[in-house]
Amino acid sequence: MSKLPEFETVTTGELRELWRKHRDPDVRRLILEVERGRRQMDEVDSLYRSINEAYLRAGGGHLVALYRFKILLVEEKGRRGF
């Protein structure tokens, strides 16, 4: 997969403004897709925390893949300003 160019993250406020401004169904689908992706990332983050806590409670150490996964989640949330 090719790398995307650098760009400024669209804020929630900007998405709301775009929704109010544009009635085109394709534009609205794109806005909904962005919001859906953000909500899915929040769910993935929650699942990560559950998996990590259960693994540590079971006596496991730190898994490199799980650590890298967490880094990706933190980076994505950081782009959104969280």
The pTM (predicted TM-score) of the whole model is: 0.73
Residue spans per domain, the chain: 12-79
The residue whose two tokens read 């109010």 is 20
Residue 81: per-residue pLDDT: 73
* pLDDT in 10s for each residue of the chain, 82 residues: 799 899 999 999 999 999 999 999 999 999 999 999 999 989 998 998 898 888 888 888 778 888 888 898 888 888 877 6
Give the whole-angstrom CA distance, residue 72 versus residue 23: 34
Scanning the structure block, which residue is given the tokens 């993250």? 9
How big is the CA angle at 81 (ends 67 and 53), to the nearest 5 degrees? 30
Residue identified by tokens 């953000």 is 38
Query: What tokens does 2 get?
Result: 């090719």
Q: Which pLDDT does position 63 carry in this prediction?
A: 81
Which parts of the chain are beta strand (E)?
none
Q: Taking Cα atoms as reference points, which of 10, 28, 12 lies closest to residue 20? A: 28
